[in-house]
Amino acid sequence: MIEVQDIRAGYGDGPDILGGISMHAHAREIVTILGPNGCGKSTLLKTVAGFVTPRAGTVRIDGQHAEAVPIHEKVRHHGVGYVPQTDNVFRTMSVAENLLMGARDLDRQTREERLDAVMAQYPSLANKRRRKASALSGGERQILSLARALMAGPRILLLDEPSAGLSPAMMHDVFDAIARIRDEQDMCILMVEQNAFEGLSISDRAYVLNLGKVALTAQAQALLNDPAMERLYLGGAPAE
Amino acid sequence: MSEFLIHVAAVSCLYGILALALNLQMGFSGLVNFGLIALFGCGTYGAAFAHLWGWPPLAGLALGLIFAALMGLFFARLGARMSEDYWGIATLSLAEIMRLVFTNEQALAGGAQGVSGLPVSFAGLAGQGAGLSRLALYAALLAAAFVLCQRITRSGFGMALKMMREEPQLARALGYDLGRMRAIVMVISSLMAAVAGFLYAHYLSFVGPEQLMSHETFLIWSMVIIGGIANNWGVVAGAFLMQFALAYVPFVKDWLDMPSDFVAATRLVIVGGGILAFLIWRPKGLFPERIGGSHG
């Protein structure tokens, strides 16, 4: 579904943050992008999403060139849903309003049906549907932003550090929700994650970035068991 | 009802339309426009050109609306290329450029002398009939502008505007085309401002570049800030409050036996001081924005 080929990208006149990255992700798959701070994880996700236009290389979605397509067009025409890391809810709107704003082009009846379905799927949101989003906990906001992305019926979900700032219990709930989305909706999920162990535990494959390039790619389970991976990227004990 | 009160109420209605236009831009959409007076000027100069060219007044209205729509679109296009704060400065600059051009180009609508002798609406009515008829017309148009703004801001599009104001990147991530939304809001509010300008020109029977001074923009800002940002009722109340406050300054001058300069200076103090005081002590204005509640 997503094919990235030799992408180079950066901000303004600055140097390349991504120095020629290639990767792919398919339906019914969670692909996690890992790596140390500043390695280009979020830039890669923003380039795939359309917030950043690549300086070179291609981004294809379902075989179609999409490297120059802005995010709002990708959401409308390529079935992409994007969940940012922070500022991911409209704080002055209620939970229900936040969800309905995710179903922009649907007719009223379909929107209400989707709203009911999402509320049934996430009872924690249903109990607080009239409450302002600003009153939700960090985990509830993350679930709300995930659920809102689902309202438009995307086929591809791009998640930028869904566990950022969450307690371990909340993190578990959020990752559980992400895994269920993949399993129940045949979704292609591309996720940037700092918390490598938790991220890999629900992922199928992963790319490890370093200095804007792919340093390692493997099945998630293999990476979890790789001592070099643990030492370099997962915060394990340094080698003797 | 005295002539004076009719006059102040009539002008308040026109400023109420301007305050609603600014509220649509700044209050609901987060578009910090310091050049609103230029859009008002499209209406006044539309009337002026029609008068100079011997066209009927309604042709002047059409001309003003076309100018305003084009300028609103131009403002919106600029907004796509620069950040919010720079856009605000750019709109102020454009309004000043417009004023300076009309001040210095004698061939263009009389330069600094302006254009006088525009036909006054309902001029044929005797006594207070003309004033009351104008007041009724302006009040009806203010009510129409109010209903339009209420319908826009309570619709799904209005919710999307608030999203654009609060979290523009997130709105884009949900598939909203902010460029298109910005253009729609700018055109609608520019048309409203131009209607107010056209009526104002035919009310005073005069159009001149001093009507485009930047302090007029800040007067409209004070109405929005004091009335309540993103509250349509509030900004209309702010328009009436400010207009009546300014209208009574000459009486205070006479009462205190102050020189003539006192009036202009005091009006500036009321506008500037009002903005400052409300931003410090009551930033949400007299009637704060109503948040949430449209969906269950």
B chain contacts of residue A82, beta-carbon cutoff 8 Å: 173
Rounded to whole angstroms, the Cα distance separating B97 from A238 reads 65
Contact A102/B at CB under 8 A: yes
Contact A214/B at CB under 8 A: no
Query: Is residue A10 in some structural domain?
Result: no
Q: Indicate if the pLDDT at residue A237 is higher than 60.
A: no
Give the start-to-end residue ranges of the domains of chain B: 3-211
Amino acid occupying residue A89: V
Contact A70/B at CB under 8 A: yes
A chain contacts of residue B177, beta-carbon cutoff 8 Å: 72
Tens-digit pLDDT profile for residues A93-136: 889 989 988 887 788 888 888 898 888 888 888 888 889 898 88
Query: Is residue A160 in some structural domain?
Result: yes
Contact A142/B at CB under 8 A: no
The distance from CA B41 to its chain's CA centroid, rounded to whole angstroms, is: 10
What are the φ/ψ torsions at residue B34 (nearest 5 degrees)?
A: -95, 10
The answer to whether the Cβ–Cβ distance between A49 and B176 falls below 8 Å is no
Tens-digit pLDDT profile for residues A168-181: 888 888 888 899 88
pTM of the model: 0.85
Q: Write the CATH number for A111.
A: 3.40.50.300
Classify residue B35 by its DSSP letter.
-
Q: Which residue has the higher pLDDT, B22 or B121?
A: B22
The mean pLDDT value for A37-66 works out to: 90
Q: Min CA distance, B229 vs chain A (Å)?
A: 15
Name every residue in B having a CB less than 8 A away from some CB of A.
159-160, 162-163, 166-167, 169-170, 172-178, 291-296
Q: Quick check: B285 and B242 in contact, CB under 8 A?
A: no
Contact A88/B at CB under 8 A: yes
- Domain containing A212 equals 25-39+77-234
Rounded percentage of chain B residues whose pLDDT exceeds 70:
97
**Is residue A226 very low, low, confident or very high in pLDDT (cuts 50, 70, 90)?**
confident
Query: Is residue A201 in some structural domain?
Result: yes
Classify residue B112 by its DSSP letter.
G
Closest C-alpha to A234, from A192, A184, A200, A183: A200
**Is residue B1 very low, low, confident or very high in pLDDT (cuts 50, 70, 90)?**
low
Rounded to whole angstroms, the Cα distance separating A121 from B84 reads 39
Per-residue tokens: B45: 């100069």
Q: Which residue has the higher pLDDT, A48 or B2?
A: A48
| pLDDT number for residue B292 | 59
Q: Quick check: A223 and A200 in contact, CB under 8 A?
A: yes
What value does the mean pLDDT of chain B take?
90
Q: Quick check: B19 and B223 in contact, CB under 8 A?
A: yes
A chain contacts of residue B175, beta-carbon cutoff 8 Å: 71-72, 75-76, 104-105, 152
Q: Which residue has the higher pLDDT, B62 or B125?
A: B62
Closest C-alpha to B37, from B113, B110, B91: B91
Rounded to whole angstroms, the Cα distance separating A182 from A1 reads 14
| B84: CB partners within 8 A, 6+ apart | B30, B31, B32
Tens-digit pLDDT profile for residues B176-215: 999 999 999 999 999 999 999 999 999 999 999 999 998 8
**Is residue B112 very low, low, confident or very high in pLDDT (cuts 50, 70, 90)?**
confident
B chain contacts of residue A91, beta-carbon cutoff 8 Å: 166
| A234: CB partners within 8 A, 6+ apart | A196, A197
Tens-digit pLDDT profile for residues B207-265: 999 999 988 899 999 999 999 999 999 999 999 999 999 888 888 878 887 887 888 88
| pLDDT number for residue A86 | 77
Rounded to whole angstroms, the Cα distance separating B30 from B43 reads 24
| B215: CB partners within 8 A, 6+ apart | B268, B271
Q: Indicate if the pLDDT at residue B296 is higher than 80.
A: no
Per-residue tokens: A101: 């704003």
CA torsion angle B39 B44 B45 B50 (round to 10): 130
The structural domain count of chain A equals 1
